[in-house]
Amino acid sequence: MRISARTQYALGAILALAASDSPVHAERIAVEQEIPRRFCDNILLQLRRAGLIHSQRGPDGGYWLARPAKEIALADVIRVTEGVEPVIRPLSPAAAPLAEVWARLRDHEDALLNEITLADIVDAASGRG
């Protein structure tokens, strides 16, 4: 599995929200996560449209999680930024047995990423996990 820079930035941004008890301004996320500001704005918009975060404008506004961190898996964020992985093109007859190996590998990746939540990462980073 390849994780794009966009996904890495999105995970950093949403983890910043998961670690905060109040709304966080985009500027703060961009600076703390070292994300170019315009790119950060686009990522936050994408996460908001996907229903993972909420936003409010104004001095008391910012971004926050749409659900508790323990209910948002890493896979949820990755699906938003990477999309669903396409089916692998048919393999040659000699390599056909590899299709099952690749399918099992994808299943293991999916299971792991669906199991790990934002809360797990925040807890591990703070020494609680």
Among residues of the chain, what percentage have pLDDT more than 90? Answer: 71
Q: Where do the domains of the chain lie, and which CATH numbers do they carry?
A: 5-125 (1.10.10.10)
Residues 6+ apart with CB under 8 A from 44: 13, 26, 29, 53, 55, 63
Residue whose pair of structure tokens reads 């990746």 in the numeric block:
109
Cα-flanking dihedrals φ and ψ of residue 60, to 5°?
A: -95, 5
Among residues of the chain, what percentage have pLDDT more than 70? Answer: 95
This prediction's pTM: 0.86
- pLDDT tens for residues 78-128? 999 998 765 567 778 788 788 888 889 989 999 999 999 999 999 998 887
